[in-house]
Every structure is written in structure tokens, then in C-alpha cells.
Amino acid sequence: MNRLLRTITAVFLGIAAIDATAQQDTLELPFFDDFSYIAAAPDKALWATDGVTVCYDLPKNPPSTGAMLMDALNGKGVFYNNARYGTVTAADTVESQPINLDYPGEKSIWLSFYYQRGGHGDSPEKGDSLVLDFYSPPEQKWQTVKLYEGGKSAPFEQEMINITDDKYLRKGFRFRFRNYISLGSSLAPDLVSNCDHWLIDYVSLDINRHKGDTVYKDVSLTNTPIIKVGDYQQVPWRHYVNSNKREEVNYTIHYRNNDNRARLLDSINLYLAHDGITDKYALGTFNMPSYMDFENRNDNFAYTFKSKYDTIANYDVTVRLVSDATANDYPGNNEVTVRKTFSNCYALDDGSAEAAYGLHGEGSDGAMIAVKFNTYIPDKMYGVYMYFCPVYNNQQADNFDLKAWACEDGLPISEIATKANVEVPKDSTGKFIYIPFDYPIEVSDTFFVGWQENETSIIAVGFDRNTSTPNHKYFNIGGDWKQSK
């Protein structure tokens, strides 16, 4: 759901950042990328692209943390100029840097990769597609070698392609992915947002492979770690320090054994670093059956956050895996770090929007959406940050009324503040926008923040689909408040 109250977007950190400008004339084998590094776009030492991004929360049960996303938006986060309602059009393109495949007559060069339709986002429909092309250096042209049709979201699938044609076994070989998208109908233009997501992971090109070479001696993290206080990703630091009502710290860590044999996870360690101090927690040793996804969760983690500052706490939260796979194929995906900041906000989401949330159509004019918060101590609320998703041709509603309610019988019954006719940003979608109330609002215990729609067109507010907070969202169409599932 959208971040409500004063909020700060989570910032992902890495142990070693990639060189975003590094390029090579010709790469040597092996070529491998699992996108587990922390960056907004694929490594330019391996890829040439202007529209493809790396994402961490959209993939569903990926082989490792991070995947390459192909969708309907260009590198600036806006729709491609050729996009049209109800029409299949070209969108993203990403191609490898030139690779040396000068191995005449070689039969053991294989390209493999995992792909997924939709993930936690929008699945491509029939007619949409993901296309794989090879580049022939002697012919100086591209040729399509594989096309994948759109369909329902499904687990990641692995593809294996043998490269034997002499025209590709040359220095300067390249391969590329392209996607075709189809926007929704012009009959409901306010519902046409970013769509038709394809996720690509574990791209591997090498010699001395075979068709059955689909196994990776790799134990990997598959998501960034989630660490919360109760349901909250963020709480105001002053509230956390001064309240005896604060909830327990909890964490969730996801990892996977990609091998075809059981592995021993020698250790999984959690590090919480702040103010030059690092607290280490050993979370145990585990036997991992083959091809299995795992969740390490603790809803009552006995930890107290600390800070040398009165108003803010900054933490680098790191998870590190050590397994018995001494010849671990890709050790880079055994560690991930996320920045955690406690400042002046309550936030339920993790800062990412995998989908949009709102009300649309007949009866939605005057409808309301509310999100429940529990403040640890009485305080004043000054405003909210809201994430607005891009809508094609800016066909979303023009404005809405920002509202706050006190809690009565568990519902947002008593209105305590309204800011009327707040304009929906047209050129600032795809990011958080701060909206202040007209005056500070006294809040205590349970209260609600949300909006009332002034039109039947949707207000496409970001929805954090991979972080579940079902007990906090409510909607009202026609006079009765109901909990949103």
C-alpha cells in the first residue's frame, strides 16, 4: 500500500557496487548474470540497454535475489511513444555486449536463462511476447531464435539453447531480449498502467555444456531481508524510544537450494550495523533438500534498535549465507544488505509498488479508501507521502480529497481532517509525493489516513503486493466501511 504519514523510501545497498560505466570491446566466456548486485539497471559491462531495470520485489520465488524486468515503460519511467490502446507494440530491448564465440565447429556452447511471466506484477496477455534474438557478425544482422507467448503468471522456467550455427560462432556475437506489450482498452483508460511484465534471471552462456546442464551448485538468497517493528517497516524514532507500547521486532529471510542434491547450510547470519557498531546473530544450521525454497522467520526477535541520535536511527541490515557447497557456483548471491531508517514516519510498505490500488467505475465517485495506523505515543500528523503509479496518457482522476479519521469500533467513522481537491500529479508519477495537511492534526492510539474520490476515474496509488498488511486497508462505497483483502 502507499506510504502514509511522513515517510522515507527504503534504499538498497550493496557490499560492492557495479561499475555503471564499465564496458569491454569483446567479452570472453563464461557470460553470467543473476542480477543479485544492487543497481537500478543491468551491469553495463555485460549489457547495453536504456529501458530495462533490475528489480528485487517483483519476482516471485526467483532463483536468486534480483531479476531483470521488461515492461511497458522506457528508461525514464514513461510509456513508449509507440504504445497504443488495445494494440501490440514493441517496448524494451536489452542486448548483451559483444562476446567472443570464435570456436569453429564447437557443439558444446549453450545459452540458458530463467524467465517468468508477471511475478508479483501484471502478467502479459495472449499476443504479448518475449523475443530472443541472435546477432550474426558476418551478416551484420539479427535473427529471432525463440518467442515466448504471454500467459498467466507461473513459476520461473529455465530455457536451454544450443548455439552451433557457424554464423554465430564468431567474435562479436551478441544476443538480445525484446518484449511486446498491449495496453488495455480505451473504454477504461484510467486502468491502463504499466503492464505485461517479464522477468529474466540466471543468464548463462558458456562452453563445455550440454542439454542437461541445468543444475547450479548454488545456495542463494532470493529476496532482500524484511525486518519490521510489528507491521511497520518504519516507525518514528522518537516514538520507538519513548513508548512502552512498541511491538516486537520481526524478520523474514528467503533463500533457496538450486542444486539437485541436498545441501548443508553451515550458517545463516544476520548483521545489524549502526553508528559504527555491528550486532551479529547466528540463525542456525539447516539441511536443505534439493530444489527447495525456504523461509526463515522470527516474529519475536529479541532486539532493540539503538542510535546515538535523538531523532533518527540508520541501520544496514545484512544477511549472509555459508553453505557446504565449497565450489559455490555464484557466491555473489549469498549476501544482501538493505538500509533501514527510523526517522519521522510510520510506513507499512517496503517502498516498492508492484501494482496499483484504487476504486473505479460506477459508484466510485465519493468512495473512500482508508489505511489504519496505531501511533505509539500521541503526536501531531503533518502530512502524507503517496506513491502515484503512471497511467497511460494521464487518464487518471484529476483530484481527490485527502482525509484523516479517528477510530470508532475499529472503523474510520469520525472524520478529523480534510484537504480538499488535491491534484493528482501528472508528471511526477512513479515516485512518492509529499502532501501536507492544512494544519497539524492531533492523533493518538488508532487512526486512519486515506482519500475520497471526486470522480469515477481511478487514483492509481502504489500497492506493495509482496508485503502483506491485510488488516490495515479499508474501503467505503455507498456508506459502509469494509476491510480490503
The model's pLDDT over 417-435, given as tens digits with 9 standing for 90+, comes to: 999 999 999 876 788 999 9
In a shared domain, residues 75 and 195: yes
Of 206, 240, 269, which residue constitutes the final position of a domain? 206
* pTM for this predicted structure: 0.91
In a shared domain, residues 94 and 119: yes
Length of the chain: 485
Euclidean distance between the first and the last CA atom of the chain, given in angstroms as a whole number? 12
> Cα torsion at 298, 304, 305, 307 (round to 10°)?
-170
User: What is the rounded distance in angstroms from the CA atom of residue 347 to the CA atom of residue 4?
Assistant: 6
* Secondary structure (H, E, C), 149-197: ECCCCCCCEEEEEECCCCCCCCEEEEEEEEEEEEECCCCCHHHCECCCC
CATH number at residue 276: 2.60.40
- Let me know if residue 6 belongs to a domain: no
- Whether residue 122 is predicted with pLDDT greater than 50 in this model: the reply is yes
pLDDT of residue 325: 62
Of 206, 229, 254, which residue constitutes the final position of a domain? 206
pLDDT of residue 9: 26
Proportion of the chain above pLDDT 70, given as a percent: 94
For residues 62-71, give the mean pLDDT.
Answer: 97
User: What is the rounded distance in angstroms from the CA atom of residue 433 to the CA atom of residue 8?
Assistant: 11
User: What is the rounded distance in angstroms from the CA atom of residue 342 to the CA atom of residue 228?
Assistant: 11
The model's pLDDT over 133-174, given as tens digits with 9 standing for 90+, comes to: 999 999 999 999 999 999 999 999 999 999 999 999 999 999
Cell of 426: 501528472
CA-wise closest residue to 179 among 228, 219, 143, 127: 127
Report the 10 Å Cβ neighbour count for 127. Answer: 13
SS3 407: strand
Please state the domain count of the chain.
3
Cell of 435: 502532501
User: What is the rounded distance in angstroms from the CA atom of residue 58 to the CA atom of residue 35?
Assistant: 13
The model's pLDDT over 238-277, given as tens digits with 9 standing for 90+, comes to: 999 999 888 899 999 999 999 999 999 999 999 999 999 9
In a shared domain, residues 144 and 241: no
pLDDT of residue 384: 97
In a shared domain, residues 112 and 261: no
In a shared domain, residues 269 and 195: no
* Residue with cell string 488508532: 446
For residues 285-303, give the mean pLDDT.
Answer: 95
In a shared domain, residues 308 and 364: no
Q: Which residues of 32-61 are buried (b: 16+ CB within 10 A; e: fewer)?
A: ebbbbbbbebbbbebbbbebbbbbbbbbbe
The model's pLDDT over 296-313, given as tens digits with 9 standing for 90+, comes to: 999 999 999 999 999 999
- Let me know if residue 456 belongs to a domain: yes
In a shared domain, residues 382 and 446: yes
The model's pLDDT over 79-95, given as tens digits with 9 standing for 90+, comes to: 999 999 999 999 999 99
In a shared domain, residues 335 and 364: no
Report the 10 Å Cβ neighbour count for 210. Answer: 11
CA-wise closest residue to 156 among 278, 64, 282: 64
DSSP for 3-44 reads --SS----EEE-SS---TT---SSBPSPEEE---S--SS--T
- Let me know if residue 459 belongs to a domain: yes
CATH number at residue 390: 2.60.120
- Let me know if residue 39 belongs to a domain: yes
In a shared domain, residues 224 and 119: no
pLDDT of residue 8: 26
Domain with 460, as residue range(s), is 355-483
- Whether residue 14 is predicted with pLDDT greater than 70 in this model: the reply is no
- Let me know if residue 213 belongs to a domain: no
In a shared domain, residues 159 and 67: yes
Contact 216, 334 (CB under 8 A): no
- Let me know if residue 214 belongs to a domain: no
Question: Looking at residue 100, what DSSP letter applies?
Answer: E
Of 150, 171, 206, which residue constitutes the final position of a domain? 206
In a shared domain, residues 430 and 475: yes
In a shared domain, residues 294 and 383: no
Under the banding of pLDDT at 50, 70 and 90, the label for residue 21 is very low
- Let me know if residue 349 belongs to a domain: no
Contact 66, 35 (CB under 8 A): yes
- Let me know if residue 1 belongs to a domain: no
